[in-house]
């Protein structure tokens, strides 16, 4: 037992290495994980004291554990068995597909990434690009929502900046969970988005098994009280106007509600901008008739470098105003009690109608609407038209005082002139015929709010009802 054993140096190093790994995996790593977990729990507890709606325990479940819960959900298990039977494949193959879908959908929320990085970056980016305005249709209404209810913010989709803007404005209330499309499934962006609590969806998928897995996750999040944000239009508006709602995610939320459990409260939110950063891309997609946004990463990087150079040389200007209006909350249980049968479609129409009435009215859309409706005009004529509309819009959430109509018209004109959407000819502002589509894009955002005047016809109606709604995601 006390004899000396000689070993080659390489074998001694190898044995030492194995011993170190074994010690770390059995003693050190569990202790470190426990220590870090305890510190994170205390940090989240302190953070929850500052938030109006504390972070739900559902969001703090480990991603691996959530995936396992989703895979073994009874509805998902039955769907996998049905899929295997219908496709004539072994059940273990179907369950492997379920596992792959679950790993794709389930986020990995990090309170540190959300509040220490994402919320601060969203605030910096929003205020760097826009003059941000916020209004509430009923001040204090959000604070009166039942603390146990699941809150779902329902928004129109104008720009990819919507995610950034709403994350910044809601950071003091709660952590939002978004449904994001395939565009965000790019490394390393996908890891950051998962850490912010967003979950990925395949908007065009017609796979029944995938839809069952997605429905099960949305149901778990809804019953778990997770605060969510969704765009019922299902995608960015290509023409600037509100689109008919798509019913997929909304239907999953309605079906997941437990009548004897926590209520679901929908909060309508309307956004509008003096400039949508990707407006030309959306116009090109509208002309092409397809949602294939051809924005190359090189073009995006070049534009960012150009803006950075303007900032360094003192020539940088913000892109006007960005405004958000929060509407009156709508209880799902209260609404469902007034409906016979499935309330999903009437609920979608009601939410879109509420959003349409609170779309923010901003300088650029006002001036664009005046030029699209009446053609070339002098600055004085535009100011008179803007003043007339502002005084006739008691329902719309104006993000400018009525006495500032002249200032608002001036701001709108300067933005359009700077972008060369209009030119000045004989003291009259004339739209550029080649870029008239962009003027209509901005005018369409508020066209349904504008009254008829001078025999030019009434404003457009709210989004189409009935068969215009789609059952897709």
- pLDDT surpasses 60 at 463: no
Return the top range by mean pLDDT from 29-33, 48-52, 245-249: 245-249
Long-range contacts of 285-289 (CB under 8 A, 24+ apart): 285/238, 286/238, 286/239, 286/437, 287/437
Q: Can you say whether residue 30 is alpha, beta or left, with left for phi > 0 and alpha for psi between -120 and 50 degrees?
A: alpha
Residues 233, 370 share a domain: no
Tell me the per-residue pLDDT of 339-362, one tens digit each, with 9 for 90 and over.
888 999 999 999 999 999 999 999
Q: Which residues, in sequence order, are bridge partners of residue 321?
A: 131
Strands 330-331 and 264-273: antiparallel
- Determine phi and psi for 84, rounding to 5 degrees: -65, -40
- pLDDT surpasses 80 at 192: no
Total domains in the fold of the chain:
3
| pLDDT value for 293 | 59
For residue 460, name the pLDDT band (cuts at 50, 70, 90). very low
Q: Find the CATH number of the domain harbouring 406.
A: 1.10.3380.30
Q: What is the mean pLDDT of residues 39-52?
A: 65
CA distance 162 to 91: 41
Residue 458 lies in a domain: no
Query: Dihedral of the CA atoms 286, 292, 296, 299 (nearest 10)?
Result: 10
Residues 355, 368 share a domain: no
Residue 459 lies in a domain: no
| pLDDT value for 43 | 60
For residue 453, name the pLDDT band (cuts at 50, 70, 90). low
Residues 292, 416 share a domain: no
CB 181 within 8 A of CB 201: yes
Q: Can you say whether residue 124 is alpha, beta or left, with left for phi > 0 and alpha for psi between -120 and 50 degrees?
A: alpha
| pLDDT value for 182 | 63
Residues 97, 220 share a domain: yes
| pLDDT value for 4 | 76
Residue 313 lies in a domain: yes
| pLDDT value for 267 | 94
Residue 228 lies in a domain: yes
What is the rounded average pLDDT for all residues in the chain?
82
For residue 299, name the pLDDT band (cuts at 50, 70, 90). low
Residues 263, 168 share a domain: yes
Q: What is the mean pLDDT of residues 420-430?
A: 88
- pLDDT surpasses 50 at 454: no
For residue 186, name the pLDDT band (cuts at 50, 70, 90). low
Q: What is the mean pLDDT of residues 249-261?
A: 89
Residue 39 lies in a domain: no
| pLDDT value for 35 | 52
The answer to which of 38-42, 100-104, 365-369, 467-471 has the lowest mean pLDDT is: 467-471
Residues 168, 232 share a domain: yes
| pLDDT value for 187 | 59
* Residue at a domain's end among 262, 294, 318: 318
Residues 244, 156 share a domain: yes
Residue 202 lies in a domain: yes
The answer to which of 153-162, 300-309, 320-329 has the lowest mean pLDDT is: 300-309
Residues 306, 240 share a domain: no
- pLDDT surpasses 80 at 315: no
The answer to which of 5-19, 116-130, 355-369, 405-419 has the lowest mean pLDDT is: 5-19
Closest CA to 267 of 220, 215, 218, 325: 325
Residue 67 lies in a domain: yes
Residue 13 lies in a domain: no
Higher pLDDT, 190 or 15: 15
For residue 150, name the pLDDT band (cuts at 50, 70, 90). very high
Tell me the per-residue pLDDT of 358-401, one tens digit each, with 9 for 90 and over.
999 999 999 999 999 999 999 899 989 988 888 887 655 667 66
- Determine phi and psi for 331, rounding to 5 degrees: -80, 130
Closest CA to 111 of 174, 188, 179: 174
| CA 54 to chain centroid | 20
CB 121 within 8 A of CB 216: no
- pLDDT surpasses 90 at 74: yes
Note down the domain range covering 337. Answer: 51-272+323-359
| pLDDT value for 140 | 77
Q: Find the CATH number of the domain harbouring 351.
A: 3.40.1130
For residue 446, name the pLDDT band (cuts at 50, 70, 90). very high
| pLDDT value for 69 | 93
CA distance 393 to 447: 12
Residues 368, 355 share a domain: no
Residues 157, 67 share a domain: yes
- Determine phi and psi for 49, rounding to 5 degrees: -70, -20
- pLDDT surpasses 80 at 161: yes
If DSSP states are collapsed to H, E and C, what string results for the chain?
A: CCCCCCCCHHHHHHHHHHHHHHHHHHHHHHHHHHHHHHHHHHHHHHHHHHCCCCCCHHHHCCHHHHHHHHHCCHHHHHHHHHHHHHHCCCHHHHHHHHHHHHHHHCCCCCHHHHHHHHHHHHHHHHHHHCEEEEEECCCCCCCCCCCCCEEEEEECCCCCHHHHHHHHHHCCCCCCEEEECHHHCCCCHHHHHHHCCCEECCCCCCCHHHHHHHHHHHHHHHHCCCCEEECCCCCCCCCCCCCCCECHHHHHHHHHCCCCCCCEEEEEEEEEECCCCCHHHHHHHHHHCCCCCCCCHHHHHHHHHHHHHHHHCCCCCCCCEEEEEECCCEEHHHHHCCCCCCCHHHHHHHHHHHHHHCCCECHHHHHHHHHHHHCCEEHHHHHHHHHHHHHCCCCCCECCCHHHHHHHHHHHHHHHHHCCCEEEECCEEEECHHHHHHHHHHHHCCHHHCCCCCCCCCCCCCCCCHHHCECCC
| pLDDT value for 455 | 38
The answer to which of 29-43, 348-362, 447-461 has the lowest mean pLDDT is: 29-43
Tell me the per-residue pLDDT of 85-97, one tens digit each, with 9 for 90 and over.
999 999 999 999 9
Residues 282, 190 share a domain: no
Residues 162, 285 share a domain: no
Tell me the per-residue pLDDT of 201-244, one tens digit each, with 9 for 90 and over.
887 777 899 999 999 999 999 999 889 999 999 888 999 999 99
């Amino acid at each position: 037992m006390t004899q000396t054993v000689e070993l080659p140096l390489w074998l001694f190093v190898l044995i030492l290495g194995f011993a170190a790994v074994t010690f770390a995996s059995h003693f050190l790593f569990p202790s470190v994980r426990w220590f870090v977990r305890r510190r994170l729990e205390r940090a989240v507890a302190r953070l929850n004291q500052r938030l109006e709606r504390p972070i739900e325990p559902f969001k703090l479940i480990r991603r691996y554990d959530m995936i396992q819960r989703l895979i073994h959900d009874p509805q998902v298990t039955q769907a996998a068995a049905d899929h295997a039977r219908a496709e004539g494949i072994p059940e273990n193959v179907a369950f492997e597909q379920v596992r792959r879908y679950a790993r794709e959908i389930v986020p990995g929320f990090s309170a540190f990434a959300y509040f220490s990085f994402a919320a601060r970056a969203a605030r910096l980016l929003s205020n760097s690009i826009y003059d941000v305005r916020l209004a509430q249709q009923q001040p204090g209404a959000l604070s009166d929502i039942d603390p146990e209810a699941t809150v779902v913010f329902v928004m129109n989709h104008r720009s990819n900046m919507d995610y950034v803007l709403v994350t910044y404005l809601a950071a003091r209330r709660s952590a939002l969970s978004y449904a994001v499309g395939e565009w965000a499934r790019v490394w390393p962006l996908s890891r950051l988005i998962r850490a912010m609590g967003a979950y990925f969806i395949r908007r065009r998928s017609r796979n029944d098994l995938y839809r069952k897995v997605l429905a099960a996750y949305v149901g778990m999040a809804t019953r778990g009280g997770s605060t969510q944000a969704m765009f019922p239009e299902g995608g960015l508006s290509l023409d600037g106007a509100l689109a008919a709602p798509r019913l997929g995610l909304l239907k999953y939320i309605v079906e997941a509600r437990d009548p004897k459990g926590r209520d679901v409260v929908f909060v309508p939110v309307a956004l509008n901008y003096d400039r949508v950063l990707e407006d030309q891309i959306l116009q090109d997609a509208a002309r092409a008739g397809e949602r294939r946004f051809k924005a190359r990463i090189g073009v995006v990087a070049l534009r960012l470098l150009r803006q950075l150079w303007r900032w360094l040389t003192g020539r940088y200007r913000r892109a006007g105003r960005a405004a958000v209006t929060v509407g009156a909350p709508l209880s799902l249980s209260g609404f469902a009690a007034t409906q016979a049968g499935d309330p999903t479609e009437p609920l979608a129409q009601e939410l879109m109608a509420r959003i349409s009435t609170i779309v923010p009215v901003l300088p650029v859309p006002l001036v664009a609407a005046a030029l699209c409706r009446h053609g070339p005009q002098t600055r004085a004529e535009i100011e008179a038209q803007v003043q007339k509309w502002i005084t006739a819009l008691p329902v719309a959430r104006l993000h400018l005082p009525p006495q500032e109509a002249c200032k608002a018209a001036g701001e709108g004109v300067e933005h359009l002139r700077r972008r060369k959407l209009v030119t000045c000819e004989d003291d009259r502002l004339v739209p550029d015929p080649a870029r008239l589509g962009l003027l209509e894009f901005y005018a369409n955002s508020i066209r349904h709010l504008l009254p008829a005047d001078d025999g030019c016809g009434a404003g457009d109606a709210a989004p189409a009802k009935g068969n215009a709604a789609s059952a897709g995601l």
